[in-house]
A and B are shown apart, each in its own frame.
Chain A
Amino acid sequence: MSKNKTKHKNISPYMTRQGAVAVKMRRRDFLKLAALTTMSIALAELGSGKIALSTLKPLKESSMQGPSKLERLQKKYFKCGICGAGCVLVGYVDPDIGRIVKIEGDPRDYVSHGTPCVKGKSSHLIFYDPERLKAPMKRTNPDRGFVLDENSVVIGVKDPKWEEISWEQALDEIADKVAEAIKTEGPQSIVFIGHGKFTELASIIGTPNNIKHHSTCHSTWEASIKPMFGGALPVGELSHAKLIVSFGFDQPGGKSKNPFVWQFAEAKRRGAYIIVFEPRLSGTANKADEWIPIKPGTDAAVAMAIANVIIEERLYDAAFLKKYTNAPLLIDVSTGEYPRDSDGKAMLLVYDEFAKEVRPLSEAVSPALFWEGEYEGMRLKTAFQLIRESLKDKTPEWAEKISGVPAGKIREIARLLATVKPACIPHWKRSGGVGPGKRQGTETLKVVSIIMAMTGNLERLGGWIINRNAKGAISKAVSRKAKKSFAELYPIPEQYKGKTIDEREKFPLYKKYVNEGAYQNIWYNILNDKPYKVKVIFITGQGLQAMMNYEIIEKAIKHVVEDNGGIVVNVNIYPDDTAALADYVLPEKWFFASKGIGYSKSLDLTARINWIDGISDPAEKARSSGWIQKELAIRIGKKLGLDEESIVNEYLPESLVLSSKEKWEKQIAKYNKKYKTNITLEELQKKKVISLEWKPADLTKLKTVSGRVEIYPVEAKKYGYNPLPEWRDYFTANPSNGELYMVSSVSPMNRHSKTVNNKWLLEFLRIYHMDKIWVHPSVAEKLGLKEDDWVMLEVTRTYAGDRGNVLTVLSGYRIKGRVHITEAIRPDCVFVPHGTGQLAKWLRSHGFGPLGGDGAVKPVMVDYEDPSASSIDMDVFVKITKL
């Protein structure tokens, strides 16, 4: 209906939003007409008997009580800190109270496209939430942990009976414990869990245990895709796509990072055809032309069959493959890598169909995509030949048996993907077909990348974008790494060197491309002192809801405190359930309070920077993470025998010692250098938002061995992994004895612990029934359930876990919640909302949704053979019981 109205003459992502342009036009017309005032009104009345809206003028007799505050509001600029998209927020400040009362976006910001999402839009409610943590707190109740009922159902968290303490006391006592731990056990006994907020302090202390959440969120993308693109991580651009095929990608109607939302809507308006594989009707599937309720854990099989059809029916874009990928390059079959010359250097060879011989890539006229033969005593095959062979038996009929998706449908989608351009298979969700929540995620993404390359949908709008943000330029302008660490005084004991508490060293490919920690097994290893004792845990910027197996978390925390004599410190904005498990809770300033230069962390297509004005934090005693780290570092250093001057000068990283102005200048200089611009700080402060045009990357100059897109990632082979897609039977299983698959996701209105206490978002979450456990009517009938009945849910087994080299620890805890009976889910699945389930009864979000959420019951799962170090916590069967 409203499709295809915008003319896209160039590929600039700016101002493509038809609404914005159209509104401008209307306003101009309005002004013209308004100038005619009474005359035009009279004419309009005579003409049609109606008055055009364009002749409106303000009516003061409307229902106002005194002058409106709206006109006196002052604009301030911020960067949203809710998610990594990092939209520009325009906050309207009421001068009488000095508070933000309204939030809008800035149309110059590509990420938000001028409209923040509902979380960003209402984020000032969190900033000014009276329930926020106001001062440092120390627990007085030694008894900690979860409150369970007689069925081992998690129903709350024990009240820590906090007492307010001064920053002096908090910092001194924490520093005491840290210094003691460094002296007695070594720096490795300090563990940082979270979003990398305390990277500086971890680096100063010299612990290798600075653990981020990647392995529960996006490690599959990084370990599968990054080796193909030389470390770059392409992301789908949806707005120009004519075809979108999603394997559990649930951004537009699920997690809703802003760019995906508006891009998806734009694609729909332009008539894109959308197909979503998802066991439950996700927010995105709801908007699709086709929702295909695939059997959980089988997306990889369908993707492989799609690739099979594209290859066997010769539907691939041969020119693209030959020009930009390593498809025609010859691989030494005995090593699985490029053949090497006598000096051991990789040779980029192809079989030239014109010369009928093997030649260096640079000299070939017409490289063959398929060839195998002998060359200088080596058995060689083209990379594409190897890919074809690996997918040879992965026919649509084979995939139908596994996934339940009809073979004809798979063929149809393969042909669509090969013929409709641009087409996009987006990847951004933790528990869908492509995420690390499922063991198949690594393989799904390998195949999806191959399909995107085979169909020529790389580095074009509507496909996958490789060259896309300013993060690299800005984020490393100021070093966060300590100049020298305390480990020089108190080194890590020899037997523990190179060992982390999360065992990331056991995942070499992941370590090379991500190295941010394997999140799922930290608590299990802490509990078992594996490989060493942990004395201090800092949990920063991360809530329980993002973790798994509450039973193990509880035991591990008790072990650290009661057996190891250690402490747990939580840096937080709320006194929530995570805080209630800690010994000390430190109040952190929230993003509105910071000032400086912002950029999009992960989703900008362009090199945007923006100025952040900042505003004072209503939690007066809250401090920035930089301040907390610096104060702690100085105190810890002193207790280790150093003087303050040498700590500041010799140890602390730039980010903690440079003045704000110095940091901003360095960031601007780095940006200018990288993008060959001449922006000054004053200019940025005045303009607030500066963006560059997006320019495509040269796909033959990537940081891969061949410089090209390596759809056969030789890097993976170097680290001992199979570069080819591979289906394994344990990616999925069949339920028995009334078991159900557990599926989980979020909705557009929540992002874990940060937003769950927002009173508006709590209301909106109900629109999506995110306060309930969902089952199909057939399940409800079998169990005698009515809407809103209480059910209990427990995990019975995992289907990827019962093998060698896999650690599986099921949670002994259960959750309960009210049931939502819906046709929007497979009859063999149960849906548990993610990110809600606050256990602290003193917060308003307590009681919303099944307490503990999916995190409480999910297992600890580590597959040491998985290159992505995935958490695999969604490969589970559950049982539900009526209460």
Chain B
Amino acid sequence: MMLKIAYFYPDELNLYGDTGNVEVFQTRASLRGFDTEVLYITSTTQITPALMSGVNLVFMGGGPDSGQKHMYQDLITNKGPFLRDYILQGGVGLYICGSYQLLGNYYKTADATVIEGLGILDFYTQHFGQAKPRCVGNMVCTISPALQQNQLFTAVNTLGTKLVGFENHGGRTYLSPTITPLALVLTGHGNNSEDNTEGLLFKNTIGTYFHGPFLSKNAHIADFLIAAALRVAKLPAIDHTLESFIKSAHESLVFKYS
């Protein structure tokens, strides 16, 4: 069985160790004996059905303003249609920070310019400029009931009900009531620092403000996405010191920051 990862915009959208998530997917799959392949999709890549055939996992990171300006038009014009179909048909993917924001309807900047999003999912993001502080810091969340009760997640979950990591964003995201958040904030800001939600969960799509190598500390989410991508009901345990370090790191960070 092959985990085929399409990594979108690795040059522009890799602000702070976001690439680590792809490393986590690859390592956790290969330690279990699955083959892996990474397809790098850049702003010059032509998306064709032949190229994307067999892709069962999509990853997109977050970028600095300059990086996002660079890939924005290509995303909307050339990659958008593929991502729309992929996400709506239940394709498995993780979208971090800037790329999470772009899945929504729009991003309103501090000077009220409206940047169109892909409009795949019903939410928007707004930057309030000086009026509201930037959301920066360690964050701890409780995984939303919808995911906690998900059968596949329950089958692969070895870490419990918390998420931990770092967020650093100026935009604040507001989900429509029809969209399920990924988690509920215990400490930190999450989507907007107001309604307690963090990220989103739609079919097999996860969007989140946990930036950088989010999955390195949250192996349960990594395993959920891997299992969903491979369409297996459970995953063999990984017999490696790595697992005990992950468990200790996850628990100690949850303890330290909540």
**A and B found bound together:** no
Q: Which residues in B have some Cβ–Cβ distance to A below 8 Å?
A: none
Residues of A within 8 A of B (CB): none
